[in-house]
Structure 1
């Protein structure tokens, strides 16, 4: 009986220790990798990209950001990319130096192309 109790206790400890609370996931359980997204606004050589397509781009930006949280990033882009991208476009994102400021919205310098 004592061996059974020890075995049960060991299994319980192992099962608890192996479970994970992944703090890197967003509210949907997926981690956004910043590789693609949708442009929701442009200003001063930067574009604001969110992970999921926004149904109505006419709503205030604060509502779009609230709905997208934590999946939004301001991207500083070169003039050619800035001029080629339109609000509503799906874009591919390449962050050459890999550095992302994880404020909200996140911020980075990137190369973007229309998908």
Structure 2
């Protein structure tokens, strides 16, 4: 389960120690440590409690928080619109929102990715 790989990063991003997460979720600290080391596979109810304590959608736990932050932040936005956490997939919601705001860019990027030419894709990344 990839969540275990990023649990420490999510705790750091939210300013929580493993002990504090343990208190909030009701899961023993030793169990959370075992989870991080891949020695315990918690039930869905525990993973849900972890996500709730970290105040993020459960699907985000599969990714490094820095990746989510990069996807969500726009250097030109003072205050990026945060997702509706009741949405099944807040990242897809953000992509759709940006697609509406920047249709030309998304059409060009989709075309480049569909074509698959490595030189074109690299040129798009550079510019």
**Higher-RCO chain (CA-CA 8 Å, sequence separation at least 6):** 1
Structure with the largest fraction of strand = 1
TM-score relative to the length of structure 2: 0.26
TM-score relative to the length of structure 1: 0.28
Larger Rg: 1
